[in-house]
Structure 1
Amino acid sequence: MSPQAPRSTAAVFNLAWPLTLKAMMLHGIVVIDAWLVSALGESGLAAMGLGGSFAALLLGVIIAFSNATQIRVAQAFGSGRDVALKTALLAGLFINLIAAVIGMVVIGAIAGPVIDLFAHTDWIAEQARLYLFAFLFVIVFEAVGQGFGSQFNGCGKTIMPFLSYLLAIPINVAVSYCLIHGLYGLPELGVMGAAVGSAVASLIRMGFLGINLWRLNGFYLGTEGWLHGSFAASLRRHFVFALPIAGTFMSNAFSNYVCTLLFARMSVNQFAAMTLIQPWVHVAGTFGIGWAMATGINVAQLLGQDQKGPELDIFLRRAWRGALIAAAIVACFYLVICLNAEHFYGTLEPETTAALLSFLPILLFLPFPKGSNAMCGHTLRAGGDTVYVMNIFLASQWLFRVPMTALFILWLGLPVTWVFALFLGEELVKFPLFHQRFLKGAWKRGLQEM
């Protein structure tokens, strides 16, 4: 069942567009919540920003381990072994669920005091807690759904996770809107209603993926044995492979959370502007990230087939040209969002709208270094060079972006535009580190044994 080796940018595109739209819809959960909650005013957005920061942190952990599983599945698919595919699927699901449970216990212990410390008013603190409580159901459903999606993505069937979000997003919008405002006899839940709508949509998405995966392979329950002799041994190998990748994503999620708490120290209008623009940055940025992820899947499949020669280099050069085009499209998307902020969020105060417009010069340049860094990162991970990628992210986040954010806000009191510019600064810090490692080419020979 070994797949044909991908050779052209068409192979990347065929994987990338469903990955991109799926990722946009995943980040769109927060965008939709922000759009719907914006009718409640800046205080409602601030409450969602505080509660959502905890939710994003835990969701980032789940996505982290799922991305590691996706690479493992791609390697297994390239090798053509059902036992490897079974091992990757079930080990990945087990790790996702354990991570979700541990994360919810930790959040339950620390979230309340932190929200009270950073909330501007008692109402914001109360609404933030309610939003976070409801969003924990999203975490559980996504832990399973992301595991199912990783199996489809690693096997090159990226259309299925995309379809699951295409089904879930309209449900999310309808249920959230009705619960926020208490329409059609439903309770008026305010900010919490947005999270409940997201949970209903995630449950339906999980069921859709589970049914289709069962039809495709029956979860490989008819395949005997495990890749490394036992489930425990296979789980340990999977976890060791996944930990640096998960560490990278968890560091990113936690640093974003710390920065969000620092953003809360700005004025309500500035904090609202950051709360609104960050989901759009993630949503639009997924176009470039999706292309890089699809490239990584193809590279992992090629390396699984032991193809490491000139053909791989030609494929990567073509894929890189596509990444530049993707970055240009992302920049155009940012242009449209910033210039039409008043139409998307008609109830915003002038100060908030002015802050959003001030981000535009940064957003026009950001996609290019970010997209190229993503290409390097996903390619290096596909070759097993996961620790180095993790170290780059750790250094750029904790030695640059987080301390500089604290400096700009707490000590210098700089305008929000300068604070937002640190997202670009982080990519420029990572750029030489990623590209030097990629050009050395040692990752082609470093793929770990499945």
Structure 2
Amino acid sequence: MSDTATRRATPSNRTVFDVAWPLTFKAMMVNGIVLIDAYLVSGLGEPALAAMGLASAFGTLLVGTLFAFSTATQIRLAQAVGSGRPVALKTGFYAGLITNLAVAMIGIVFVAAFGGLVLDRIAHTPWIAEQARSYLNIFLLVVLCEAVAQCVGSFFNGSGRTIIPLKSYVFAIPINVATSYLLIHGAGGLPGLGVTGAAIGSALGALARTLYLARAFHRETGSYRDEPGWLNGTLWQSLGRHLNFSMPIAGTFVSNAVANYAAMLLFAKMSVNQFAAMTLILPWVQAAGTFGIAWAQSTGIIVAQLLGSNRSGDELDRFLGRAWRMAFVAAGLVSTTYLFICLGSGWIYGNLEQETTAALLSFLPVLLLLPFPKGSNAICGQTLRAGGDTLYVMNIFVAAQWLVRIPLTALFVLHLDLSVTWVFALFLVEELVKFPLFHLRLYKGEWKRGLAAE
């Protein structure tokens, strides 16, 4: 009777909140790495900010790719938790870890071979190109650490214990802040390395976080050394199945990362002040918007667990109805946060030129509206992925990015020479294009058939 009662208990909004709030703060801290660097580097002037913006675009592309595969691993592990099979947890974790390490090494080789050439071509001055290259070379250490840390974080997230990855950032961020400050400005008798110092601080923080998570995983599971066998017979067969499941999800995030990088290259064609405004606002958009996205992500985790235990139908509808209503509350909070960020930009970045500050204020109307369609789209996307409808989700993202936002960005910047305000508004246009495509698919209900971990 106890098992039946537990099975019939539909997760509440409190359950989602317990999973979501650590994801929120963790995501804020992820974006905080760039925000910290931007804040500390802003005192060096707009050219230094531009150098960091160009280099961090490369780094964001690589870390975003790892996040893509880690998201797929997280869904597999959430399904494994729902099914109650330890061998599924072992298989999902190691398949995800091997995948992450392979992707990281491919990305590092690619950047080492071509990154410098791209930076030389798009930087406004040789000095900006040199500083960007120095930042990027060191940031590759962050990428390698994230390959491991994100996979371990997916293990804890998939089981609903999102607090543990959050603690890893609480441990690592002070290391990042302290070393970045000392090395950027040369405090405490250390050499002032400028932009390069910011990258070193990020690398040390990432290493500390990886060690923290690896220790927590080993203490809890013994690294699954005592769990015999693999879910699909052999590790390599399991890896193949994992990749088949992961590729559409990874394709979605990779497309987004590449599109953002392509947009950043286009932004670089604007004036230094307008490009600096974009460099400053985009990390804030990501950081402040994390609660809405984290709510959607936690909803997807719980849906995957429910589907892994073969629960569907009316129970899923009730759960999603409650989660969706709270998603709009989250969007309102995010919108209010954007208001304070824009109005306080002159105080946050006191050394900015007047043109840069004016550009930041001009983003406000779009920022007040953006969280609502974005949050609702996120609920749809996470739910569809949890139910296995990953290819359709990828197609929506790819179409909205490469048929709408990027072509219009190129038109606005390269041909019409519109202001940065109109260029920024395209982020809202993209969400409005995706809105009917996501919601119509979700209402069809085919995802409710479930996708139990294999």
Shorter-chain TM-score tier: over 0.9
What is the rounded CA distance, in whole Å, between the counterparts of 1:230 and 1:253 in structure 2?
33
Partner of 1:403 in structure 2? 407
Amino acid at match of 1:115: L
Amino acid at match of 1:69: T
Deviation at 1:185, TM superposition (A): 2.5
Q: Does structure 1 residue 275 correspond to structure 2 residue 279?
A: yes
Runs of 4+ in 1 over 3 A off after TM superposition: 2-6
Partner of 1:195 in structure 2? 199
Amino acid at match of 2:116: G
Q: Does structure 1 residue 263 correspond to structure 2 residue 267?
A: yes
Q: Does structure 1 residue 378 correspond to structure 2 residue 377?
A: no
Partner of 2:211 in structure 1? 207
Partner of 1:25 in structure 2? 29
Give the counterpart of 2:183 among 153, 174, 179.
Answer: 179
Partner of 2:120 in structure 1? 116
Maintained 8 Å contact 1:58/1:139 = yes
Maintained 8 Å contact 1:6/1:298 = no
Between 173-182 and 105-114, report the one with greater CA deviation.
105-114
Partner of 2:416 in structure 1? 412
Partner of 1:136 in structure 2? 140
What is the rounded CA distance, in whole Å, between the counterparts of 2:348 and 2:226 in structure 1?
51
What is the rounded CA distance, in whole Å, between the counterparts of 2:299 and 2:254 in structure 1?
22
What is the rounded CA distance, in whole Å, between the counterparts of 2:366 and 2:225 in structure 1?
50
What is the rounded CA distance, in whole Å, between the counterparts of 1:195 and 1:239 in structure 2?
32
Amino acid at match of 2:405: R
Partner of 2:329 in structure 1? 325
Maintained 8 Å contact 2:52/2:195 = yes
Deviations along 1:245-272, one digit per CA (max 9) or x if unpaired, are 1110000000000000000000000000
Deviation at 1:444, TM superposition (A): 1.0
Q: Secondary structure at the match of 1:120?
A: coil
What is the rounded CA distance, in whole Å, between the counterparts of 2:22 and 2:123 in structure 1?
38
Partner of 1:152 in structure 2? 156
Give the counterpart of 1:161 among 165, 185, 196.
Answer: 165
Deviation at 1:449, TM superposition (A): 4.8
What is the rounded CA distance, in whole Å, between the counterparts of 2:232 and 2:210 in structure 1?
29
Maintained 8 Å contact 1:385/1:446 = no
What is the rounded CA distance, in whole Å, between the counterparts of 2:217 and 2:450 in structure 1?
31
Give the counterpart of 1:98 among 96, 102, 108.
Answer: 102
Maintained 8 Å contact 1:62/1:143 = yes
Amino acid at match of 1:440: K
What is the rounded CA distance, in whole Å, between the counterparts of 2:191 and 2:161 in structure 1?
39
Q: Does structure 1 residue 315 correspond to structure 2 residue 319?
A: yes
Partner of 2:131 in structure 1? 127
Give the counterpart of 2:437 among 430, 433, 436.
Answer: 433
Percent of pairs identical after alignment?
64
Partner of 1:305 in structure 2? 309
Give the counterpart of 1:250 among 225, 229, 254.
Answer: 254
Q: 1:7 to 1:448 in 2, by over 3 A?
A: closer
Q: Does structure 1 residue 43 correspond to structure 2 residue 42?
A: no
What is the rounded CA distance, in whole Å, between the counterparts of 2:450 and 2:94 in structure 1?
25
What is the rounded CA distance, in whole Å, between the counterparts of 1:204 and 1:210 in structure 2?
10
Deviations along 1:17-61, one digit per CA (max 9) or x if unpaired, are 001111111111111111111011100110001111111000100
Deviations along 1:61-120, one digit per CA (max 9) or x if unpaired, are 011101110000000000000000000111101100000000111111221111111111
What is the rounded CA distance, in whole Å, between the counterparts of 1:7 and 1:140 in structure 2?
36
Q: 1:6 to 1:216 in 2, by over 3 A?
A: farther
TM-score (normalised: structure 1): 0.98
Q: Does structure 1 residue 62 correspond to structure 2 residue 66?
A: yes
Q: Does structure 1 residue 387 correspond to structure 2 residue 391?
A: yes
Maintained 8 Å contact 1:18/1:159 = yes
Q: Does structure 1 residue 360 correspond to structure 2 residue 352?
A: no
Q: Does structure 1 residue 287 correspond to structure 2 residue 288?
A: no
What is the rounded CA distance, in whole Å, between the counterparts of 1:393 and 1:363 in structure 2?
20
Amino acid at match of 2:421: T
Maintained 8 Å contact 2:380/2:438 = yes
Maintained 8 Å contact 1:176/1:195 = yes
Structure 1: gaps (5+ residues): none
Maintained 8 Å contact 1:369/1:428 = yes
Partner of 1:72 in structure 2? 76
Maintained 8 Å contact 1:51/1:131 = yes
Maintained 8 Å contact 1:376/1:434 = yes
Deviations along 1:418-447, one digit per CA (max 9) or x if unpaired, are 000000000000000000000000011152
What is the rounded CA distance, in whole Å, between the counterparts of 1:193 and 1:255 in structure 2?
28
What is the rounded CA distance, in whole Å, between the counterparts of 1:39 and 1:349 in structure 2?
12
What is the rounded CA distance, in whole Å, between the counterparts of 1:76 and 1:366 in structure 2?
34
- RMSD of aligned Cα (Å): 1.1
Deviation at 1:197, TM superposition (A): 0.3
Partner of 1:88 in structure 2? 92
What is the rounded CA distance, in whole Å, between the counterparts of 2:448 and 2:113 in structure 1?
43
Q: Secondary structure at the match of 2:187?
A: coil
What is the rounded CA distance, in whole Å, between the counterparts of 1:91 and 1:185 in structure 2?
45
Maintained 8 Å contact 1:115/1:129 = yes
Deviations along 1:283-303, one digit per CA (max 9) or x if unpaired, are 111111100000000000000
